[in-house]
């Protein structure tokens, strides 16, 4: 009775194929260029087939965002595994966040810039399974550890976490969306921001 299983596998394959095609279009041509018809063309199915696997375009993009987040979390995990001082890990994580955003500008855009991403479930509470939630929890945890180690002067984990997030997002967002602006050398800006924010935070 492995037939049912095989079919399920085939379904999952196609679902992943759609995700991959959409993700590739994204990376290559940017958000604007991702249309259901183009994705369909790429995988050689009819456009409507996609709707058998995803509720609508938002649902599809959302799942791509989830994959993007998952990759970020993986990067962060590596940093944490090194078990530096909490504040050092936190700083490295922020660096990784910015680099991540600059490396995958189109995925970053749709994940953090568009109001598509659903952080919350229907209950209004943070959605347990969401990668975005996990990522933020991860960041918060690192902030909490740094506070416990007495390396951050404020004592509100949520506030500090959100401020760090905002700073990282601001840099990525500006660098990515105003490519023509005469920005300071990228690394200078990244390091400068991290130093500045951590100067303001550290005990």
Q: Which residues bind DNA (CB under 7 A)?
A: 3, 7, 10-11, 14, 34-38, 45-49, 51-52, 56-58
3-class DSSP assignment, residue 152: strand
Contact 39, 21 (CB under 8 A): yes
Instruction: Select from 26, 76, 97, 198 the one that contacts a second copy (CB under 8 A).
Output: 198
Sign of CA dihedral 43, 44, 46, 52: negative
Q: Rg of the chain over CA atoms, in angstroms?
A: 19
The listed partner (DNA, a second copy, none) that binds 34, CB under 5 to 8 Å by sort, is DNA
Segment interacting with a second copy, rule: CB under 8 A, options 33-41, 46-54, 78-86, 108-116: 108-116
Q: Judged by CB under 8 A, does residue 183 bind a second copy?
A: yes
The listed partner (a second copy, DNA, none) that binds 192, CB under 5 to 8 Å by sort, is a second copy
Instruction: Select from 70, 159, 187, 203 the one that contacts a second copy (CB under 8 A).
Output: 159
Instruction: Select from 55, 82, 115, 129 the one that contacts a second copy (CB under 8 A).
Output: 115
- Residue 53 or 108 with smaller CB distance to a second copy: 108
- Least distance (Å) from DNA to the CB of residue 176? 21
Q: Judged by CB under 8 A, does residue 83 bind a second copy?
A: no
Counting Cβ atoms within 10 Å, is residue 4 exposed (0-12), middle (13-18) or buried (19+)?
exposed
Contact 22, 34 (CB under 8 A): yes
Q: Judged by CB under 8 A, does residue 144 bind a second copy?
A: no
The listed partner (a second copy, DNA, none) that binds 38, CB under 5 to 8 Å by sort, is DNA
Contact 117, 66 (CB under 8 A): no
In whole angstroms, what is the distance from residue 173 CA to residue 98 CA? Answer: 9
Q: Which two tokens stand for residue 137?
A: 């929890």
Q: Judged by CB under 8 A, does residue 71 bind a second copy?
A: no
* DSSP string computed for 11-75: HHHHHHHHHHHHHHHHHHH-GGG--HHHHHHHHTS-GGGHHHHSSSHHHHHHHHHHHHHHHHHHH
Q: Judged by CB under 8 A, does residue 199 bind a second copy?
A: yes
**Site of interaction with a second copy (CB under 8 A):** 112-115, 117-120, 124, 126, 154, 156, 158-160, 162-163, 165-171, 173-174, 177-184, 188-189, 192-193, 195-201
């Amino acid at each position: 009775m492995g037939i049912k299983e095989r079919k399920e596998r085939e379904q999952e394959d196609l679902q992943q194929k759609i995700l991959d095609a959409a993700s590739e279009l994204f990376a290559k041509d940017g958000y604007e260029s991702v249309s259901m018809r183009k994705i369909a063309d790429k995988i050689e199915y009819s456009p409507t087939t996609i709707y058998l696997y995803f509720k609508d375009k938002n649902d599809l993009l959302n799942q791509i965002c989830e994959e993007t987040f998952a990759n970020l979390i993986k990067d962060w995990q590596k940093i944490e595994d090194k078990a530096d001082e909490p504040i050092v890990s936190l700083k490295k994580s922020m660096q990784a966040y910015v680099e991540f955003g600059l490396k995958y500008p189109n995925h970053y855009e749709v994940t953090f810039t568009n109001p598509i991403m659903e952080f919350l479930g229907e209950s209004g509470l943070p959605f347990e399974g969401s990668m975005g939630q996990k990522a933020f929890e991860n960041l918060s945890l690192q902030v909490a550890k740094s506070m416990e180690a007495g390396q951050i002067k404020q004592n509100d984990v949520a506030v500090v976490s959100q401020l760090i997030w905002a700073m990282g997002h601001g840099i990525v967002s500006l660098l990515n969306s105003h490519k023509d602006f005469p920005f300071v050398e990228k690394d200078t800006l990244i390091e400068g921001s991290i130093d500045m924010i951590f100067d303001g935070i550290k005990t």
